[in-house]
């Protein structure tokens, strides 16, 4: 009787604790990239649950079948060198599971790194997302506006984020829209996302970057393209311009609220593409092509002079 009350108390306590937990945002996707990641998580959880149930079932079966009271007093277990089938199952099944999960993970990695499926024919909204201690700066080069610690995006349109940092390495993450990606100094990384549904989402830095890391968050609002255009027009009419002096003050360590400016810091403090960044590699490739073309032109001129 006492054992039953103990178990009942434990179950009620667990239920009370779980009811106070926040919902798992990664399992509430609002975009195609996040849906793919959520399906992979649920698949992994399902496989692990199946393995646990099978192992626990076998354990219960062994405990009941081979318990001491179920054997005669003079029973002596036979000497067995090994069982081919048991060893094949114990080794083969884990290999199959790991190989399958590896295949799914690699396939999903290529999918989430590319432009979202179904949005290939649409022009992406390019946003330069940069971090500093401990805030996020969002520059809209096409709209010529900039926000701090909040992000407005249109729905049903691909989003292309150019990530970099003005300080330590951070990680840009909007769980309901997709996975995280690092933002680094002297390096630009690209993250493709999209929002299928309007709403408000939470974004944050998921990489520890100092004492202010816990509050290094930002709000994301997804809206229709019409509402987004109206917001852009309103910002241009009401917001103050961003100056180089004010931007340098924003980079000072500390927390801030939400700020809005016309113009972007890309005009006077453009990101350093770096040697290994994606855009830097493209620039180097273009420069190499130009150098090759120039060399070919010199060779042609030299050949013509030789013929004369």
Q: For position 221, what pLDDT does the model report? A: 97
Domain boundaries of the chain, sorted by first residue: 25-69+83-114, 125-262
Alpha helix ranges (H) inside the chain: 2-19, 32-65, 84-113, 225-238, 244-250, 278-307
Name the token pair of 83.
């069982």
Write down the pLDDT at residue 52: 95
Q: How far apart are CA 276 and CA 266, in angstroms?
A: 20
Q: What is the CATH number of domain 125-262?
A: 2.60.40.420
How far apart CA 183 and CA 172 sit, in angstroms, is: 7
Q: 19 and 12 in contact (C-beta within 8 Å)?
A: no
Please give the chain's pLDDT, 308 residues, in tens: 566 666 667 666 666 555 555 568 889 999 999 999 999 999 999 999 999 999 999 999 999 988 878 778 787 877 878 888 889 998 999 999 999 999 999 999 999 999 998 898 899 999 999 999 999 999 999 999 999 999 999 999 999 999 999 999 999 999 999 999 999 988 899 999 999 999 999 999 999 988 888 989 999 999 999 999 999 999 999 999 999 999 999 999 999 999 999 999 999 999 876 655 555 444 444 444 444 444 444 444 444 444 43
Residue 154, class by beta-carbon neighbours within 10 Å (0-12 exposed, 13-18 middle, 19+ buried)?
A: buried
Q: Report domain 25-69+83-114's class.
A: mainly alpha
């Amino acid at each position: 009787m006492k054992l039953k009350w103990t178990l009942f108390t434990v179950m009620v306590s667990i239920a009370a604790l779980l009811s106070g937990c926040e919902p798992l945002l990664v399992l509430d996707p609002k975009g195609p990239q996040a849906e793919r990641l959520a399906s992979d998580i649920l698949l992994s959880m399902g496989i692990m649950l199946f393995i646990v149930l099978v192992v626990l079932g076998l354990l219960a079966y062994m405990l009941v079948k081979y318990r001491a009271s179920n054997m005669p007093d003079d029973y002596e277990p036979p000497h067995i060198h090994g069982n081919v089938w048991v060893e094949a199952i114990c080794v083969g099944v884990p290999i199959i599971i790991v190989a399958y999960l590896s295949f799914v993970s690699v396939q999903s990695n290529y999918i989430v790194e590319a432009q979202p499926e179904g949005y290939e024919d649409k022009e992406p909204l390019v946003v330069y997302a940069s971090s500093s201690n401990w805030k996020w700066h969002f520059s809209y080069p096409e709209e010529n506006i900039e926000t701090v610690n909040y992000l407005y995006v249109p729905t049903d349109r691909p989003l292309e984020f150019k990530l970099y940092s003005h300080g330590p390495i951070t990680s840009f993450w909007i769980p309901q829209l997709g996975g995280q990606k690092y933002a680094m100094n002297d390096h630009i990384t690209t993250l493709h996302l999209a929002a299928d549904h309007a709403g408000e989402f939470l974004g944050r830095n998921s990489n520890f970057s100092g004492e202010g890391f816990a509050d290094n968050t930002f709000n994301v609002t997804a809206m229709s393209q019409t509402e987004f255009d109206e917001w852009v027009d309103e910002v241009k009419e009401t917001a103050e311009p961003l100056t180089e002096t004010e931007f340098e003050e924003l980079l000072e360590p500390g927390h801030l609220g939400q700020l809005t400016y016309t113009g972007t810091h890309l005009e006077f403090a453009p990101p350093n593409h770096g040697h290994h960044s994606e855009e830097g590699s493209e620039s180097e490739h273009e420069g190499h092509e130009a150098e090759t073309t120039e060399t070919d032109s010199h060779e042609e001129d030299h050949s013509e002079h030789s013929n004369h």
